[in-house]
Amino acid sequence: MRIRLLTGIVLAAFVILLPDAGFAQGTADPSALANQSLRGYTHMFIAYAIAWAVVVGWVISIARRLARVEKALKE
Amino acid sequence: MDYLRQVNAIIWKDLVVELRTRERVAAMGGFTVLVGILFNYAIDPTVVEPQAIAAGLIWMTIIFGGMLGLGRTFSLEEEEGAFQGILLSPIPRDAIFVGKVAANFIILTVVTALVFAVFALFFGLTFGGHPVALAGVVLLGILGFVALGTLFSAVSTRTSMGDTLLPILVFPLLIPVIIYGVTATATLFEGRPVAEVDGNIRMLGAFSAVALFAGAGLFRFVVEE
Amino acid sequence: MSAKIRWTGAVLGVLGLAMILVLHWMVFFWVPTERTMGVVQRIFYIHVPSAWVAFMAFGIVAVCSAIYLWLKDERLDMAAQSAAEGGILFTSIVLLTGPLWGRVAWGTWWTWEPRLTLTLLLWFIYVGYFLVRASTENPQRGKRFAAVVGIVGALDIPLIHLSVVWFRSLHPAPVVMKPEGPSLDPRMLATLFVGLGASTLIFLSFFLFRYGLERMRQASAHREMAPRETPAPEGAAQ
């Protein structure tokens, strides 16, 4: 379940960012690109999502390891 | 004086082993020539003139070839269990480190001379008009590289990943050597005055000093049981 | 886990979470949009704080490693390991958010901007730290090796920084990258500071929990190795 969710997120990010790959072949004109504010919004949300995912991921990882150790100590 | 004698003993031992087996120099020397051949086909001389990128090519060859040899610094000790013998002897740990660095430095200097000769031959390179400064830059750069590489070779030899771990550990830390070394070398190749590479030489010296002191200080923690 | 660690971690965590919420409000509703880069510049408010945490964490790793080698107190190694775990995660955040921002703001996924380059190298040093830890049969040796990596890394990072900045001065970028933008509005500065505070608190909170976890793990491992009480043999004299 979690793997499917993760795959979905990665694929979504990929699809959203794919048009950028087209631009990578072309010119890199900053002002023209900055005018596309929709792309800016997408990138910004993905960036914040990544930061949240990493931090929350760490929390969950610590919590799980903690539960495992507490269980081991109880025995 | 005693310390120097101990260091010399280590240097002498390693060089004698190397002279007898010639395995490291052979591998690194062969690597140098072969890389030169590969570069000849990898670079299109109609698009880019080898002289223009010579400094970078030479340094990368030295680094990659050097890694081959550095990885083997402690292999003999590790295989034969000879390390215990050295550690049990009264030689202080940092003397062992300095000795190993010096031996590696001598071997790599020989290989570097070969790199310069091979590349000059294959690509018709000229090295500018300041051979002493050039030698200084290259030797200082190699010294820092060897100091770092020797310390981490002791680390990687005693892990399960072995030599494959060495580039991962060393390359990020080697950036200053590449930046200052290649830039200074390229500047000298163009025949520009030595004063322009003065800062680079200073930084390479600083790097080498830090690498040597850090290595000498930390080596005992790497080899203790 | 010791009550002190748990309690301090929880307090820092709650404070950090509160600041995170404030930060989000500031970023999405208060701070003005940057003139040339547009909305995407708001990534700056998590990108830079993450970088700050990444390097601060490495400082903790280096100091704890050095003292660990000197005093041989296992708790210092546990602290270094916990800091390194957080550090590499925040470094990853920097490296992932940077290109997302740069792609829209400056038209390119990657730039050899000195700070980003330094962060990439820091990431590799962290990787080396964990690799040497994991690839030794003797875990004590692994800890010492990791400490050496941490110390040498910390010594080298200023030199790397100097060299990449100097290199950049020789080869200036075609586009001038000023993360804040040509104007640094005081509101942007305020938001940045809130971001710095929030990320520091979050890191410290999780660092403490991670450290507490490691203490418990070691305690659990010791208990497993301690000799169990042997049951009285059958028919033994009472």
Cα(C76)–Cα(A66) distance, integer angstroms? 20
C54 lies in a domain?
Answer: yes
Residues of chain A positioned with their CB less than 8 A from the CB of C31: none
The count of domains in chain C is: 1
Give pLDDT, residue C49: 94
Instruction: Look at A18-22, B15-19, B23-27 and tell me which has the smallest mean pLDDT.
Output: A18-22
State both tokens at C231: 């049951």
Give yes or no for residue C150 having a pLDDT over 90.
yes
Residue C201 lies in a domain: yes
B32 CA to centre of own chain: 13
Compute the mean pLDDT over every residue in chain A, rounded to the nearest whole number. 77
State the pLDDT at residue B57: 94
pLDDT higher than threshold 70 for residue C229: no
Size of chain B, expressed as the number of residues it contains = 225
Q: Do B161 and C69 touch (CB under 8 A)?
A: no
* C96 or B76, higher pLDDT: C96
Q: Is residue C101 less than 8 Å (CB to CB) from chain A? A: yes
Within-domain flag for A2? no
Percent of chain C topping pLDDT 90:
64
From chain B, the residues in CB contact with C136 under 8 A are 158-160
Q: Which of C132, C136, C162, C171 to mutate to test the interface with B (most CBs of B within 10 A)?
A: C132
Q: Do B112 and B65 form a contact (C-beta atoms < 8 A)?
A: no
Residue A7 lies in a domain: no
Element (H, E) at B110: helix B93-123
Respond yes or no on whether ipTM tops 0.95.
no
Residue C197: what pLDDT? 95
User: Which residues does chain A have within 8 Å of residue C40's beta carbon, measured at their own beta carbons?
Assistant: 34, 39-41, 43-44
Range of the domain at A54: 37-75
Question: B151: buried, middle or exposed (CB in 10 Å: 19+, 13-18, 0-12)?
Answer: buried
* Residue in chain B nearest C136 by alpha carbon: B159
The confidence band for A25, taking pLDDT boundaries of 50, 70 and 90, is very low
Q: Where are the alpha helices (DSSP H) in chain C?
A: 3-25, 44-71, 74-105, 114-134, 139-170, 186-225
Residue C57, domain member (yes or no): yes
The nearest alpha carbon in chain B to C154 belongs to: B173
- A65/C contact by beta carbon, under 8 A: yes
Number of domains in chain A: 1
Give, to the nearest 10 degrees, the angle between helix C3-25 and helix C186-225.
150
pLDDT for C179 beyond 70: no
> Which range has the worst mean pLDDT, B122-131, B174-183, B212-221?
B122-131
B176 touches chain C (CB under 8 A): yes
| B58-to-B36, B53, B123, C170 alpha-carbon distances in Å | 9, 9, 11, 21
With a pLDDT cut of 70, the percent of chain B lying above it is: 99
Instruction: Identify from C24, C35, C43, C205 which residue to disrupt to test chain A contact, counting A C-beta atoms within 10 A and taking the largest count.
Output: C43
- Nearest residue in chain C measured CA to CA from B181: C163
In this prediction, residue C182 carries a pLDDT of: 60
Subunit contact C121:B172, Cβ cutoff 8 A = yes
* Domain of C7, in residue numbers: 3-173+186-214
> What is the residue extent of each domain of chain B?
2-223
Q: If 0-12 CB within 10 Å is exposed, 13-18 middle and 19+ buried, where does residue C36 land? A: middle
> Where does the pLDDT of residue C152 fall: very low under 50, low under 70, confident under 90, or very high at 90 and above?
very high
φ, ψ of residue C38 in degrees (nearest 5): 80, -155
In a domain, A25, yes or no: no
pLDDT over 90 (residue B166)? yes
Q: What local confidence, expressed as pLDDT, does residue B10 receive?
A: 81
Cβ–Cβ under 8 Å, residues A20 and C103: yes
Please tell me which of A2-6, A28-32, B208-212, C3-7 the model is most confident about, judged by mean pLDDT. Answer: B208-212
The answer to whether residue C238 scores a pLDDT higher than 50 is no
**pLDDT tens digits for C157-168?**
999 999 999 998
Q: Is the pLDDT of residue C178 over 80?
A: no
Average pLDDT of the segment spanning C59-81: 96
Note the Cα C127 to chain centre separation in Å: 12
C206·A58 Cβ contact <8 A: yes
| Interchain CB contacts (distance < 8 Å): A and C | 97
Question: In angstroms, what separates the C-alpha of C144 from chain B's closest C-alpha?
Answer: 7
Query: Count of CB atoms within 10 A of residue C164's CB?
Result: 21
B70-112 pLDDT per residue, tens = 988 888 777 777 777 777 878 888 888 999 999 999 999 999 9
Nearest Cβ partner for B175 among C121, C128, C136: C121
Interface contact B198, partner C, CB < 8 A: no
Among A45-59, B119-133, B142-156, whose mean pLDDT is lowest?
A: B119-133
Tell me the whole-structure pTM to 2 decimals: 0.87
Q: Average pLDDT of C94-113?
A: 89
